Chains A and B, each alone.
Chain A
Amino acid sequence: MEPQRSGRLGPSIVIAGAIGSALRWAIGEVMADPTMALLCVNTGGSLLLGMVLAHRRLRRRIWLTLGFCGGLTTFSGYSVLIAERFNDHRYGSAAGIAVGLIAIAGVGFLAGYSGLRWSQTRPRVQRP
């Protein structure tokens, strides 16, 4: 799943990252609950990354993997959300978010990866 690296791809990665970030901001504005917004962008971005990495041609598109999916998802928002719960002595909530978000995003990634692989390898039915 290692994407190809190239220094000449810089501008396209930066632009794709900015578009992904803008989409993350828009989702955060629409959804009132920051935890649900974080769950939405991180799971959606992980699912999309899984699909892209399973695709024979798209997996080499760094602007899509490192740029768009990387910009759409965020780890700092996740860390601060947990740390704030921790500071408020809401340890159960902090642990639930910490484990829950990463587990759901992991399932999303595997679903995207396996789903696309399955659709690419299943035998096609020939029409008469």
Chain B
Amino acid sequence: MIPAAFVVAAGIGTGLRFLANSALPRPIGTLLVNVVGSFLLGWLTAVGSSHHTLLGVAGLGALTTFSTVVAEVVELSRHQPRRAISYAGLSLILGVGAAWLGLTLG
């Protein structure tokens, strides 16, 4: 694997996540990138692409984020505990569901 290509792919993934977070209200942007990224990584894993490290680990790994989900759930739980539970549950169900769909279709 070429390190420069890894950095470029990870940079593109991070940039797309930043754009989604800037354009959409919280936590919709994070939810969207996580669901889309989970589907694509599931599909890529099923296809068995030789570019898995580049596209999967770098690009899609950087596109999605776990720490922001945790921070947003903790932030919501302070004033809107029901919304926090809904967001955590929705992230889990939609994310895993999208990954399963990608694995199945790939």
Check: B22 CB closer than 8 A to any chain A CB.
Answer: yes
B14 and A109 within 8 A (CB): no
A74 and B14 within 8 A (CB): no
A70 and B68 within 8 A (CB): yes
Residues of B within 8 A of A73 (CB): 65-68
| Best-surrounded residue of A13, A22, A83 (most CB of chain B within 10 A) | A83
**What interface size band does chain B fall in?**
35 or more
Secondary structure of the B contact surface, majority rule:
helix
Q: Which of A65-79 contact B (CB under 8 A)?
A: 65-67, 69-79
| Best-surrounded residue of B21, B61, B95 (most CB of chain A within 10 A) | B61
Residue of B nearest to A98 (CB): B92
Q: Which residues of B contact A (CB under 8 A)?
A: 3, 6-8, 10-15, 17-18, 21-22, 26, 34, 37-38, 40-42, 45, 53, 56-58, 60-71, 73-75, 88, 91-92, 95-96, 98-100, 102-103
Asked, given contacts A18-B7, A21-B13, A22-B6, whether A76 binds B67 with beta carbons under 8 Å apart, the answer is no
Q: CA A25 – CA B99 in complex, angstroms? A: 20
A76 and B63 within 8 A (CB): yes
Interface size on A, residues (CB 8 A): 52
B92 and A49 within 8 A (CB): no
A75 and B11 within 8 A (CB): no
Q: CA A50 – CA B70 in complex, angstroms? A: 9
B66 and A105 within 8 A (CB): yes
Asked, given contacts A13-B15, A25-B6, A83-B42, whether A45 binds B96 with beta carbons under 8 Å apart, the answer is no
Q: Which of A72, A79, A84 lies in contact with B67, CB distance below 8 A?
A: A72
Secondary structure of the A contact surface, majority rule:
helix
15 sample A-B contacts, Cβ–Cβ < 8 Å, listed by A number: A13-B15, A15-B11, A17-B18, A25-B6, A69-B67, A73-B66, A74-B66, A75-B64, A76-B34, A76-B37, A76-B40, A76-B56, A77-B41, A79-B42, A80-B41
Task: Determine how close the nearest CB of chain A comes to the CB of B60; give it in whole angstroms.
Answer: 5
Q: Which of A13, A16, A53, A74 lies in contact with B61, CB distance below 8 A?
A: A74
| Best-surrounded residue of A15, A20, A73, A113 (most CB of chain B within 10 A) | A73
Task: Determine how close the nearest CB of chain B comes to the CB of A83; give it in whole angstroms.
Answer: 4
